[in-house]
Amino acid sequence: MDIRTLALQGREPDAAELCARVSDLCRDGPALLVCDATAVTRPTLATAHALARAALTARRLGVPFRVRAAPPLRGLLDLVGLRQPLAEPLRQSEQREPPGRVQEGVEPDDPAVR
């Protein structure tokens, strides 16, 4: 599984530059692009805007995009409604047994259910 990481630093990233970097990293189709924004300690709405545009760029290229964020940025993403689509934690799918089939016995004298 090819996972690429993009480091985001500075206070207000340029959205166009960030999208260009995302396009370069997604050129040969990694399985996932993670934007490491833990260095962003004072996020602004411009930060959230740039991350949203970067996520759209990655998704248009068919690459899932996630943000690894420090608490101030997670709070801002939550406030603007982007935390779930961008900063949702990466989880491994659980191994479950396939659902069992319901086995019903029918008695000859049972009335039909209506």
- pLDDT tens readout for residues 44-67: 999 999 999 999 999 999 999 999
Asked whether the predicted pLDDT for residue 29 surpasses 90, the reply is no
Which residue in 51, 48, 40 sits closest to 18, CA to CA? 51
Which residue in 54, 62, 60 sits closest to 86, CA to CA? 54
In angstroms, rounded to a whole number, what is the distance separating the alpha carbons of residues 51 and 87?
Answer: 10
Asked whether the predicted pLDDT for residue 106 surpasses 70, the reply is no
Asked whether the predicted pLDDT for residue 109 surpasses 70, the reply is yes
Say what the pLDDT of residue 67 is.
Answer: 92
In the chain the domains, ranked by start, together with CATH numbers, are 3-87 (3.30.750.24)
Say what the pLDDT of residue 41 is.
Answer: 84
In angstroms, rounded to a whole number, what is the distance separating the alpha carbons of residues 99 and 97?
Answer: 6
With contact defined as beta carbons under 8 Å apart, do 86 and 58 qualify?
no
- pLDDT tens readout for residues 76-105: 999 998 888 787 555 544 555 555 555 566
